[in-house]
A and B are shown apart, each in its own frame.
Chain A
Amino acid sequence: MSAAATQEKSSGSKINLGAFFIEARALVALAIIIVIFASMSDTYLSVGNLVTVAKDVAFNAIIALGMLMVILHSGIDLSVGSTVGLTGAVAGTLFQGLHLPLTDAVMYPSIWVIVVIAVAVGMLVGWVNGLLIARLNLAPFIVTLGMLYVGRGLTQVLLDGTNITNELRGQEELGNTGFFEVFASSPLGVPISAWVMVAVAIAFSIILTRTPFGRWLYAIGSNERAAALSGVPVNQVKTRVYVLTGLCAGIVGMLQIANIRSSTADLGEFYELNAIAAVVIGGAALSGGRGTVRGTIIGAFVIGFLTNGLVIVGVSPFWQTVITGAVIILAVAVDQIQQILQRRQAQARAVAEARRESGKVPVGPGGHEGPPPEQT
């Protein structure tokens, strides 16, 4: 029996080691990518290029953090890309000035008012998503797919076939200048989007680990019925999660129109897919209940360093797309393997326990002595 126990132990630790590597796979993948490209190009790890990577990763990572929240509850939000475009268009429209009804007056809000209104529109979109999903029990995929079209359409309505570019600069006499000076700045040489990413990551990390809301979110994603029976306000949590996603999209909308110095109708297209990829590469389960802020950030950096590296070493543009897609599939495949391993591990543990317990009863191996049947 002691021999069996040690055997169990050693095989158990082997599984643990394997599981560790898979758990840390995103980090391993990141390291591999960096080493490979750094060996192929001197400029890859130059400060300039790292700043470039950080800026691009930040946009995707902020969206991905919002996406993480919905994926944790086993939902999905396909509308974030459109929401980025919409909030950008709202801000652009406000920079053009608001025609007050019944008068000839045009109001020019200051930039902070504009930013708050635009981001609030993003949160409103999320709130509508959340209400439809939580209260009417509609499938997140369908609701947010619909919202993807609604948001993109509204963006086009607002922009009406033109880009809003010059107005974003603002005019001294209107008192709405300074947008680029804040939202396209680089404090301490690091792009503002990277700072915002860090701030959002810290905030979401605290929300997920240090508040009941975070605990509830994980619980709902893992087992909604059990969570509901434990008194978790499921609908409220779900609704708020989509508001958070909308908030992230709104923030990126502001940063991105400052980055490209224009509000365009196509802004944000396919952002949702890059964000989902980052979340999944970061180890989250699309079925919900599993995923971390840290993993998601790493996932975004994996994509960022990969796409950047492919450009830097001069891989043909068509092949870049193929390789990026393959890496995402690989990540999902590893995700599945991880779950299979974990299940096996749990079973092995249970069987080991069974052996240990049945070992206490002094019976011969394989024999199962039933208790005497007669009793009254």
Chain B
Amino acid sequence: MKLKSMAAIATTAIVSVSLTSCGDAGGEGEGGGEIAIITVDPANPYWAAEVSRAEELAEELGYEYSVGAHENDPDEQTRLMETAINNDVDGILLDPAGADESIAIVEQAVDADIPVSLVNAEISETGLAEAQFISDNAQGAAAGAEVWAEAMGYEGTYVELIGEPSDNNAPVRSEGYESVLSQYPDMEKVGEEIANWDRQEGQTAMEQLLSRNPDIDGVISGNDEMALGAVNALDEAGRLDEVEVLGFDGSNDAAEAVADGKLVASVLQPIDEATTQSLEVLDEVIRTGESSVEEEKVALDCILITEENAEDLQDFVLED
């Protein structure tokens, strides 16, 4: 019960933030110029949403823009950043590949007097980027785990599907789940498998886990794709009705599964919001030379997607 109210508060908080920032747009100074949008992997719907929001807003603000994707490879990120620096763009919107790995290249851009604003993920140094708008994955995982535990009745056995271990989000989400679930002594984790964020791998892993533990009561997954693979496997085994599955990301497929009752919940990272705010800060710096944001690092709360709001979710944007 307390959880649900918490999610409600989070939702309202974000709405208000977004309202104020919208009010800021269109101040004094000169707009226009070129910005580089450097993201992770637009083939993935999540980052596709990030890119399409950034493109939309950049156009609205009157910028030319280019889009690059580094697929979480710091080398590739360096190449893309250097290209942008060499092209002397007016600003860079970066979804960084690694908190430590990205510091040097951001510094390089700043040294070249090109403002950088971060979105989605952080770097472990402050004072370089104009702003870092990230989603609080630990908070999101905890919120998700709370509703899922409630659906489980705070008891039973479960397994966990883990994302690509080299991706920081995999342990962060896993630990977020753990922080909540460790409070409930009657819930027992009986297995975990790595499924690399992939639906087919998640399905295969779930099939094998089901062979070993046919009587599990729940599944928590590091992302929606793996969760949906698990749903397929459970469906095939005829156990979907009895097993509670938790996803993360709030993809369209997941939203639908939540609406259909196949998933208990998913967790939406406010990527749309983060992109909007990060790009607006960048725009402000380009126009005025400085940003009005007080705190460089802003952790935006994740939004819980449950049966109640699942139908309003489309392409990682929650319609009001």
Q: Which of A46, A52, A163, A317 contacts B194 (CB 8 A)?
A: A317
| Closest partner residue, chain A, to B212 (CB atom) | A312
Stretch binding the partner chain, chosen from A210-218, A261-269, A337-345, A355-363: A261-269
Interfacial chain B residues near A187, Cβ < 8 Å: none
Given known pairs A52-B211, A308-B208, the reply for A161 and B200 (CB within 8 Å) is no
CA distance A182 to B282 in the complex (A): 52
Q: Which of B48, B192, B232 contacts A260 (CB 8 A)?
A: B232
Are B48 and A162 interface neighbours, CB within 8 A?
A: yes
Q: When each residue 240-255 of chain B gets 1 if its CB lies under 8 Å from chain A and 0 otherwise, what string results?
A: 0000000000011100
Stretch binding the partner chain, chosen from B37-45, B86-94, B269-277: B37-45
Are A161 and B211 interface neighbours, CB within 8 A?
A: no
CA distance A313 to B113 in the complex (A): 56
Are A317 and B192 interface neighbours, CB within 8 A?
A: yes
Q: When each residue 239-274 of chain A gets 1 if its CB lies under 8 Å from chain B and 0 otherwise, what string results?
A: 000000000000000001001111011110100000
A110 at the interface (CB under 8 A from B): no
| Closest partner residue, chain A, to B200 (CB atom) | A260
B214 at the interface (CB under 8 A from A): yes
Task: State which residues 263-290 of B face A: CB under 8 Å.
Answer: none
A330 at the interface (CB under 8 A from B): no
* B267, chain A: closest CB distance, angstroms: 18
Interface residue total, chain A, C-beta cutoff 8 A: 35
Interfacial chain A residues near B44, Cβ < 8 Å: 161, 265
Interfacial chain A residues near B256, Cβ < 8 Å: 165-166
CA distance A259 to B211 in the complex (A): 18
Are A262 and B253 interface neighbours, CB within 8 A?
A: yes
CA distance A155 to B42 in the complex (A): 12
Are B208 and A264 interface neighbours, CB within 8 A?
A: no
Are B200 and A52 interface neighbours, CB within 8 A?
A: no
Are B45 and A260 interface neighbours, CB within 8 A?
A: no
Interfacial chain A residues near B204, Cβ < 8 Å: 56
B34 at the interface (CB under 8 A from A): no
Q: A48-B211, A265-B44, A318-B194 are in contact. List 17 more A-B contacts (CB 8 A).
A: A43-B214, A48-B214, A162-B48, A163-B199, A163-B253, A166-B256, A256-B200, A262-B228, A262-B253, A264-B198, A264-B199, A264-B225, A267-B200, A308-B211, A312-B208, A317-B194, A318-B165
